[in-house]
Amino acid sequence: MGTRYVANLALNRPSLRFSHEDEQAATPARVAAARRAIAQENHAAALQSDDVRWMFAQQVQSSIEGGRAAIVRPQVRQQLVADAQRMGLRPFDANLVIAIAQDAARHGEDLHETAVHRLAMVPARHQVSKIGPLMLLGAAVGLAAGLVALFIAWIMG
């Protein structure tokens, strides 16, 4: 009497449906309510207020000029991209966030309501470089050699 997942392969259109013997059949109202609940949860989990993408999008929104024309002057764009790089975003991702904010402004949409899901597609941070295990081992050996040299110099001197 557990949960089963059943694939419907009729008409060469596979679809996955959830079935359980103890539950009633899903009504359109229950399905709509479940979809709304899932959408609200996804919206709430998409971006936090301290997320780099969200903070940068707000900065872009305040830099947009011309109302629905959504103009970002080239000098302003360069400064925005530089700011985004300091926050850890790649230049490509920064320009993508700028485009998302401009698109929302051009359609007269609130950035929070419409662009949150689009911003979630942008990677949050870009790892510039990682310290590899060999690099870490080399640093440890170098530090140990330096400490041994200092110890020998202290004993001899």
40 shares its domain with 62: no
Whether 36 and 62 share a structural domain: no
21 lies in the same domain as 73:
no
Q: Distance between CA 63 and CA 102 in Å, rounded?
A: 10
Supply the pLDDT for residue 128: 43
In a domain, 135, yes or no: no
By residue range, what is the domain housing residue 31? 4-46
Q: What's the confidence (pLDDT) of residue 78? A: 94
Residue 85 lies in a domain: yes
Per-residue confidence in pLDDT tens, the chain, 157 aa? 444 444 444 444 555 555 554 455 668 888 887 777 776 665 555 555 557 888 888 898 888 888 888 888 999 999 999 999 988 888 999 999 898 889 888 888 877 766 667 777 777 765 444 566 788 888 889 999 999 999 999 999 7
- For residues 41 and 96, membership in a common domain is answered with no
Number of domains in the chain: 2
Please tell me whether residues 32 and 72 are part of one structural domain.
Answer: no
**66 and 80, same domain (yes or no):** yes
Angstrom CA distances, 84 to 46, 64, 79, 110, stand at 19, 16, 9, 21
Nearest to 83 by CA among 106, 104, 53, 50: 53
**What pLDDT score was predicted for residue 152?**
93
For 122, residues 6+ apart whose C-beta sits below 8 A from its C-beta are 53, 89, 93, 96, 97, 100
Structural domain contains residue 153: no
Residue 131 within any structural domain of the chain? no
56 and 28, same domain (yes or no): no
Integer Rg of the chain from CA = 27
Residues with Cβ < 8 Å from 148, sequence gap 6 or more?
Answer: none
